[in-house]
C-alpha cells in the first residue's frame, strides 16, 4: 500500500493493546486522535517518548485528543516494557500501546521505510480528525525523539483553523495573531472579524486569534 497522505482516511484495524483489544475506528469515533509508532520495544528513545506522552495526557484530553502508541513487538513485550517506562520516566503508561507483531498496521500506515530498515518502523506520527482523516503526518528517523510540544501546537492550529477561516503563521502558538485565509473577501471578513484586521498585503491580513 502506498503511504498515507494528508486528507486520506486512516485504515481500520483490530489489535491487542496494553488496555485490551482495540478496533481503531470504533476507539476514535467522534474524537481527534494521535497514533504514533515505535521502532521496537525496550529502546531508549521510545522509552522517553512514552513517558513524556503519559505526562502530557491531561493536555491532550483538554483538546479532546485520544493517544495511541504502536510497536511491532508482541503484547507480552509491551506489558514488560510498561514497568521500565514507569521506573525510568517516573510516570506510568496511561494510554494504549498497540501490539503489531505481524506488521499489518505498520504496513497499512506506511510506517516501514525499507531504505531505512526493512523490519522496523520509523517514528511516524499521525494526527487524525473526527472524520477519521489524516490532518498531520510527521516522520522522524529512529535516532531522533519527537517534540510533543510541537505536536500539541499543531493540534491547536488544526482545531482552530477547522472552526474559523484562518491560518496560523510561522512559529504561531495559541493566543497569538492569525491570518485571514485568501478565500475570504474583505467584505466577508468584515462580518467575521468586525473588530478589524491589519493588512500587510492584500493576501496577508493579520487578525487576533478568534475565541
Q: Which of 85, 81, 70 is nearest to 36 (CA)?
A: 70
> Among positive and negative, which fits the CA dihedral 150, 31, 29, 46?
positive
15, 22, 28, 46: the active-site residue? 46
CB 37 within 8 Å of CB 116: no
List Cα–Cα distances, 97 to 7, 38, 75, 199, 200, in angstroms. 25, 10, 9, 47, 47
> Which three cell numbers mark 47?
522509552
Question: What 3-state DSSP class applies to 156?
Answer: helix
Look up residue 183 and give its three cell numbers: 478565500
* 58 is annotated as an active-site residue: no
Do 124 and 137 contact (CB within 8 A), yes or no? Answer: yes
- Residue 24, exposed/middle/buried by CB under 10 A (0-12, 13-18, 19+)? buried
Distance CA 107, CA 130 (A): 23
Residue 138 backbone dihedrals phi, psi, to 5 degrees? -130, 135
Residues with catalytic roles:
46
Amino acid at each position: 500500500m502506498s503511504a498515507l497522505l494528508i486528507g486520506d482516511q486512516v485504515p481500520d484495524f483490530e489489535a491487542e493493546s496494553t488496555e485490551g483489544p482495540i478496533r481503531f475506528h470504533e476507539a476514535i469515533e467522534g474524537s481527534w486522535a494521535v497514533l504514533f509508532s515505535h521502532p521496537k520495544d525496550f529502546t531508549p528513545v521510545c522509552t522517553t517518548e512514552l513517558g513524556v506522552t503519559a505526562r502530557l495526557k491531561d493536555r491532550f484530553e483538554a483538546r479532546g485528543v485520544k493517544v495511541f502508541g504502536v510497536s511491532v513487538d508482541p503484547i507480552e513485550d509491551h506489558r514488560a516494557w510498561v514497568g521500565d517506562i514507569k521506573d525510568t520516566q517516573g510516570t506510568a503508561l496511561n494510554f494504549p500501546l498497540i501490539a503489531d507483531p505481524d506488521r499489518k498496521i505498520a504496513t497499512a500506515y506506511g510506517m516501514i521505510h525499507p531504505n531505512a530498515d526493512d523490519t522496523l518502523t520509523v517514528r511516524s506520527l499521525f494526527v487524525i480528525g473526527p472524520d477519521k482523516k489524516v490532518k498531520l503526518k510527521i516522520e522522524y528517523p529512529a535516532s531522533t525523539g519527537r517534540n510533543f510540544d510541537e505536536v500539541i501546537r499543531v493540534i491547536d492550529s488544526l482545531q482552530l483553523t477547522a472552526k474559523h477561516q484562518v491560518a496560523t503563521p510561522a512559529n504561531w502558538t495559541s493566543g497569538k495573531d492569525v491570518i485571514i485565509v485568501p478565500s475570504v473577501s474583505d467584505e466577508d471578513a468584515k462580518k467575521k472579524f468586525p473588530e478589524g484586521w491589519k493588512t500587510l498585503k492584500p493576501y496577508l491580513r493579520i487578525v487576533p486569534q478568534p475565541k
